[in-house]
Amino acid sequence: MKLKEGSTLYIRIDYKIEDKQETEQDGQDCMAYLQSIAKERYLMAGLLGNMETEHIDGAMLLFEAKDLAEAQEIANNDPIIQRGFYRCEVKQLNIMLVSDSSKQ
């Protein structure tokens, strides 16, 4: 995908549910799911929090979808969301400015 002004992407913001602790397998399942999505479309993902102290508050994804309904479906099908370790919000991002370095 070539980013340009007027493009639309979707943001998924994940919020950790404090009383639930995921296992290493849950994390691996989530990563496998995201990698499969990334093969089909533009996707960036990252953790929110301090990696040095391993205090993770949540995560954020920026990805391509045809519309908000598809974006919500992608978000809801993630094992980490389905299993109730995180709740998420999905928002539409209407791109207004793209730096020259990301247009290449």
The tens digit of pLDDT for each residue in 45-85 reads 998 887 777 777 889 999 999 999 999 999 999 999 999 99
**pLDDT tens for residues 74-86?**
999 999 999 999 9
- pTM for the full predicted model: 0.85
Structure tokens at 88: 């998420």
pLDDT at residue 99, as a whole number: 86
Angle at 17 between CA 13 and CA 19, to 5 degrees: 170
* CATH no. for 8-98: 3.30.70.1060
**Cα(20)–Cα(86) distance, integer angstroms:** 9
- H-helix or E-strand containing 42? none
